[in-house]
Structure formats: C-alpha cells, structure tokens
C-alpha cells in the first residue's frame, strides 16, 4: 500500500484504539441535468453503499435526476441559480456583499420551494452555497428561507452558524481548480483527510464535525473516479469508521 493510504489508515487505527469512530460524509456539487457523469456518480454510491449528499442547483435542476437517485442519496440546496454576482475585486459568489440580505432571502426561499417540489422526500433544507461562500450576515437569516443547515468548506468554528442552523462542512476537495480542474491526486486528498482527523483527535478542530469529502462529478477524470472507488471500497468495512447520511449530520430526520 502506498504511503499516504497507510498514513490515513494509521490515523483511523488511533481512533479505533481510543474507542472512537471516524465519521466521514460525502457531498457532491452542481447536480442539474441528467448525464453520464451524474449517472456514474449515483451508480458509484449504490455499488459501494455509500450515502451521498447531492447538492443540486434549484433553478436548473431537472426533476428526472431525482427520480432515479435511489435511497442513499439526499438532496441539498446548492444556492439558487449558481450565477456569479461578485463585484469587481470580490471572489466568485452567488451572494455578493452588495445584495441586500432581504433580496437574497427571497431568492433562497423561492429556490428552496422549487427544489423541494422537484426532489420530494429526499430534499433536506440545507444550503451548500456555490463556491462555499456566504456572507455571515446572511447566515443568521437563512431560517427565514426555511433552511436549517449550512455546508461550506474547512473546519467549522461553531456547531450552529446561527441559532437553529446546524453547520457541517467539507474538508477534502478532490479537484485542483487552478490546475485545469484535474484530480488533485490521491496523496493530496488523503493528506487533507488525515490532517482533519488528526486535528479533531487532538481537539484542534471540532471533534464532532464529520470529515467531508467534496466532489464535483461533472469534472472528474478517470483518476478521480478510480480514487473514489478505492476510498469507498477500502473504508466500507472498517469497524471504527462510519459514512454518515446528511440526515444524521444535520438532524433533519
Ligand atoms: Zn457549484
């Protein structure tokens, strides 16, 4: 086994020795239209029996993608239309600093209703904002849009981003966005996971936050698919490890 895999399994063994369970979860972004990559993603979830939190773009999502998703797939809300509203000099975001919060909330509430109607019982009122960006002042108002959870990137600093708004982020992005959107490589992905687990074990990060793997089916190359396959296969039967459903993490059921 190559080194970084071994380092991850060694870290998982430390959790097991301490009588603790490693919690992983899987979020995939940008679901909208049916296609080979989305079909492959859902087939992978089913074949490996891994729960998948699929973040769908409400205003673009076609109902068909939810009909065949199967019981392991939960649907999160990926913004509203995924349009970049950033001003010059601002990082890419759907929720620009210049947009009045009330206007953003109206948009989010309408999008939530749309997505809930299309996705049915698999929909969870959890916002995964595009580019993982959301102004703090909006988080405190998400409840008004019917949202109860928030998922961004990096270790969370609080269990609730605002009262009644549970936060569970992702921590391992497998895409190298600035290097041609290729797979980051197994070593880098595994290092990020091991780092978050070690930080939680030593209480440098919130130990109660499941470690989130972030994927983007539309841009996966063969190496990315092969990596995910190996990750799920090699962790599925570990006694000290659990792949969590988003429902469990966000306490929506
Ligand atoms: Zn996105």
Amino acid 68: pLDDT: 82
Give 119's contacts (C-beta < 8 A, 6+ positions apart): 56, 61, 66, 75
Give 39's contacts (C-beta < 8 A, 6+ positions apart): none
The mean pLDDT value for 85-110 works out to 96
Does pLDDT of 1 surpass 90? no
pLDDT band at 93 (very low <50, low <70, confident <90, very high): very high
Distance from residue 14's CA to the centre of ligand 1 (Å): 34
pTM, 2 dp: 0.97
Distance from residue 214's CA to the centre of ligand 1 (Å): 11
The mean pLDDT value for 82-92 works out to 96
Distance from residue 130's CA to the centre of ligand 1 (Å): 4
CATH number of the domain to which 13 belongs: 3.20.20.370
The mean pLDDT value for 84-100 works out to 95
Domains identified in the chain, total number: 1
Distance from residue 128's CA to the centre of ligand 1 (Å): 9
Distance from residue 48's CA to the centre of ligand 1 (Å): 24
Q: Which residue range(s) make up the domain with 85?
A: 3-250
pLDDT band at 85 (very low <50, low <70, confident <90, very high): very high
Q: Look at residue 246 and give its three-state secondary structure.
A: helix
Distance from residue 19's CA to the centre of ligand 1 (Å): 37
pLDDT in tens, 101-112: 999 999 999 999
Does pLDDT of 253 surpass 70? no
* Backbone angles phi and psi of 194, in degrees to 5: -60, -40
Distance from residue 65's CA to the centre of ligand 1 (Å): 16
pLDDT in tens, 149-197: 999 999 999 999 999 999 999 999 999 999 899 999 999 999 999 999 9
Per-position b or e across 30-59, b if 16+ CB within 10 A of its CB: bbbeeeebbeebbebbeebebbbbbbbbbe
């Amino acid at each position: 086994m190559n080194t970084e895999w071994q380092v991850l399994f060694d870290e998982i063994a430390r959790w097991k020795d301490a009588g603790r369970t490693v919690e992983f979860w899987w979020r995939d972004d940008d679901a909208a239209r049916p296609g080979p990559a989305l079909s492959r993603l859902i087939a992978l979830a089913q074949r490996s029996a891994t729960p998948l939190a699929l973040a769908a773009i409400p205003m673009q999502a076609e109902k068909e993608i939810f009909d065949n998703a199967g019981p392991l797939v939960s649907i999160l809300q990926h913004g509203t239309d995924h349009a970049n509203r950033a001003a010059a000099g601002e990082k890419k975001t759907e929720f620009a600093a210049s947009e009045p919060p009330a206007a953003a909330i109206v948009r989010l509430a309408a999008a939530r209703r749309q997505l809930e109607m299309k996705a049915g019982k698999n929909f969870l009122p959890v916002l995964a904002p595009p580019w993982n960006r959301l102004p703090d002042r909006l988080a405190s108002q998400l409840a008004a849009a019917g949202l109860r959870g928030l998922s961004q990137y990096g270790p969370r600093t609080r269990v609730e981003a605002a009262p009644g708004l549970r936060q569970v982020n992702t921590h391992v992005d497998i895409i190298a966005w600035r290097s041609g959107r290729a797979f980051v490589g197994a070593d880098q992905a595994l290092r990020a996971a091991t780092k978050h687990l070690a930080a939680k074990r030593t209480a440098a990060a919130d130990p109660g936050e499941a470690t989130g793997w972030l994927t983007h089916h539309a841009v996966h190359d063969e190496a990315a698919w092969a990596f995910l396959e190996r990750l799920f296969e090699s962790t599925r039967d570990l006694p000290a490890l659990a792949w969590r459903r988003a429902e469990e993490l966000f306490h929506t059921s």
